[in-house]
Every structure is written in structure tokens, then in C-alpha cells.
Structure 1
């Protein structure tokens, strides 16, 4: 398996871990009764600021992961894997890992820097695939 695909699989596992972490914290804060209901009403209380930040970080990763998946798939199907594309995939993955604590702890401007690095890596992978 190529490094790019390993990074994509790892990013998927990070995404799943983020969801599990948010779900666990939300259940502990609000209680499972709300989460097993049809959720026709607002939660009985808002999430704590930390859990709300983790939820937003998860949603951000969900959006970013789609672009990265398209980029890695395109590079792979085009047969354009190289040291550069592997390095870009690793940089994306590293940036996404760092994005989570940066969002949770409100590290500014690092949260935006890590987002930008991941986004740029995905765009560069797409450009390379097209060359």
C-alpha cells in the first residue's frame, strides 16, 4: 500500500476517533437519554466549551477529509505517487492531528495554520495528479 493510501486510512481512523471522543464526552455531559431519542427537541443543556470545540474540529475534519480523499484517490489512480506526494500526504495527516488539540485549547493562530497546511497539501496533490 502506498504512503498516500496509508495516510488516507490513518486520516479516516482519526476521523472515527474524533467522533467517538465527541460522542463519549457529549453522552457524559448530557446523558444518553437525549442521544437515544429521536432528537426532536434541543438538548437539555448545551455542550461544554471543550466538547463543542471538539465537535467543531470533527466537523471540520469531515469536510477536509473529503478533499484529501479525492486528492489521494486521484494521485493513486493517475499513478503519480512520488516522494513529494508521500510527503504531502504525511504533512496533511500531521496537520490534522495537530489541528485537534489546537482547536480544543484555542491555540491561535495555530488552529488556522494547521488547517491551511492540510488544505494546501490536498490542493497540491490534486495539481500534481493533473500534471
Structure 2
């Protein structure tokens, strides 16, 4: 298994843990009557995210942001692996992505400005460089 795929698995596990970081306080704040419900708008009066605390809302947005980032990273990790472009360089980029995604959660939850955006940018850049490494890998065909 390439290092990029290992980091992808770790990133997926991190993503699962992020859901816990958000879901536990959301359930404590809202109660299971709301969180286990079908969440129909007429029953809730306003969206659940408008009913949670600021930190819990930030954790939810960080989780949703990783939904988008993880998709691109997965494409990059798989493309690097399938193209045979895996190297020390691409492994380093994969680890940078994961470190940035881990750092992003407290940065978002604690409202670190401008650090949240800088940390996001590092992960995004690492993913883009991985995609380029796969795209420009020497062809074995």
C-alpha cells in the first residue's frame, strides 16, 4: 500500500472522529428528541444549526468542509497510486494534507483568524500538488 493510500485511510478515520466531535455536543445541546427526529422544518421552527452554540456550529462547518476536502484528496491519493507517481515528495504532501486537516478543526472551533484559512490553504495546496504529480507522472504505457 502506498503512503498516500495509508494517509487517505487515516483521513477517513479522522473524518469519522470529526463527526463525533460535532455530534456529541449537538446532542447534548439540542436533546435527542430533535437530533433523532426526521428534522422536518415545520417541527423544528428553524434549522438545527441555528439552535446550537457557536463552537458546535463551527465543528459542524469544519466537518462539512472536510466532506469537500476529503473527496479531492481521495482522488489525488488514488491517482498518485494508480499512476505510479508515489514518492517521498507525494508522501510528504499527503502527510501535510492530513496534518492540516487535523489542525483545521481546533482552528475553526476556536475561531483562529487568519490561521484557519492559512491551515485550510496548506491542505488544499498539498492536494493540488498531489493531483499535478499524478497528472505529470511518466507514463508506463
Normalising by the smaller structure, the TM-score range is: over 0.9
The Cα RMSD (Å) is 1.2
1:22 aligns with 2:22: yes
Matching residue of 1:47: 52
Moved over 2 A (4+): 41-45
What TM-score, normalized by structure 2, do the two folds share? 0.89
Matching residue of 1:97: 102
What TM-score, normalized by structure 1, do the two folds share? 0.96
Unpaired segments of 5 or more residues in structure 1? none
Matching residue of 2:83: 78
SS at match of 1:37: coil
State the structure with more CA Rg: 2
Match of 2:120 among 115, 124, 131: 115
Match of 1:125 among 116, 123, 130: 130
Task: Supply the distance in 2 between the matched residues of 1:37 and 1:83 (Cα, whole angstroms).
Answer: 48
Alignment length (residue pairs) = 131
| Deviation, structure 1 residue 87 | 0.2
Residue deviations 1:71-98, cap 9 Å, x none? Answer: 0010001111000000000000000010
Task: Supply the distance in 2 between the matched residues of 1:88 and 1:43 (Cα, whole angstroms).
Answer: 37
Residue deviations 1:104-124, cap 9 Å, x none? Answer: 101111100110000011110
Unpaired segments of 5 or more residues in structure 2? 137-141
